[in-house]
Chains A and B, each alone.
Chain A
Amino acid sequence: MNWGSFGEFLAMGGYGLYVWGSYVITLLLIALELALLAARHRAALRGRAEPRRQRD
């Protein structure tokens, strides 16, 4: 185990800003991509009904 306390874990030996700045942004971007993908899929499912309605 590398860390004596949660505070030490967060501090990352004084490099907390750089380490957590990397990990948090990466996780946020991946979450954002997944959300955008789900939204695009839903939009595509909605979009396919439109031409049929126009033809009627």
Chain B
Amino acid sequence: MLAVNIEISLKDVNARNMAGNINWFKYSSPQSFYPLAGRMVPWFLTAAALSGIVGLYVGFFVAPTDFQQGESYRIIFIHVPAAWMSMFIYVVMAFWAAAGLAFNTRLSSMMATALAPTGALMTFIALWTGSLWGKPTWGTWWVWDARLTSELILLFLYVGFMALQAAIDDPRRADKAGAVLALVGVVNVPIIYFSVQWWNTLHQGASVSLTKSPSMAAAMLAGMLIMTFSFWMYSIAAALMRVRAIILERERNTEWVKAI
């Protein structure tokens, strides 16, 4: 009974410190983040579904036929969003992994772990749809050029990160080992992005960039950007769902998890 009382009073002190002095760290504790993430997931899933429907409508019914590639170009509405997300998720994953390494915050490392499978999925979708686009336009499913090869390496980085973490029993050590791998692999992201400029590749250059106006029809661009938003919202929802499961798995012996 005495032990229980002490435990409760310690918890009160911790809660007061978190709420009072360092309020912005409140949600960095898995216990506070678990219900918050649970409340956010339906919103992100709804945003992903609605924007996905609008994006597909624009992509199939508003955007015109491409004068060179015919209807095959409509793969762009998932290929480019998936490829962008594959790189973006990797950077976000490396960021959380680095934060976990630097500040020793458990939730940061859990976020990195939660992002990896969704990033790998986006990378696979980019490669799969790229292959199905390459066959009719280039005449081949696959070619070992700079863009395709560096994107394949990205898939191996995601899979390597997951395999490494799965191979280490102690979660905190797995977090650290994974973080080192994620940080080393981040050099691959600019290599993917600039590969079409640095090397002579079969893959076309960027149709959309920050420095010049897009070289495509407005409706095509709109469809692509709406689908990118949809993929983005989906990725956040999936990562939040996974981090909730990871929190439960890792904290299953704590009182608050048993009380859910």
Using CB atoms and an 8 Å cutoff, list the residues of chain A in contact with chain B.
Answer: 1-3, 9, 12-15, 17-19, 21-23, 25-26, 29-30, 33-34, 37-38, 40-41, 43-45, 47-49, 51-52
Contact = CB atoms under 8 A, between A and B. Distances in A.
A29 B121 contact: yes
A4 B258 CA distance: 59
Contacts of A17: 132
B70 A2 contact: no
Interface of B: 60-61, 63-65, 70-72, 74-75, 78-79, 82, 117-118, 121, 124-125, 128-129, 132-133, 135-136, 234, 238, 241-242, 244-245, 248-249, 252-253, 257-258, 260
Given A40-B242, A41-B244, A12 B74 contact: yes
Contacts of B124: 29
A18 B248 contact: no
28 contacts: A2-B61, A9-B60, A13-B71, A15-B74, A15-B136, A18-B75, A18-B135, A19-B71, A19-B132, A21-B132, A22-B78, A22-B132, A22-B133, A23-B78, A26-B78, A26-B82, A29-B121, A30-B234, A33-B238, A40-B242, A40-B245, A43-B245, A44-B249, A44-B252, A47-B248, A47-B249, A47-B252, A48-B258
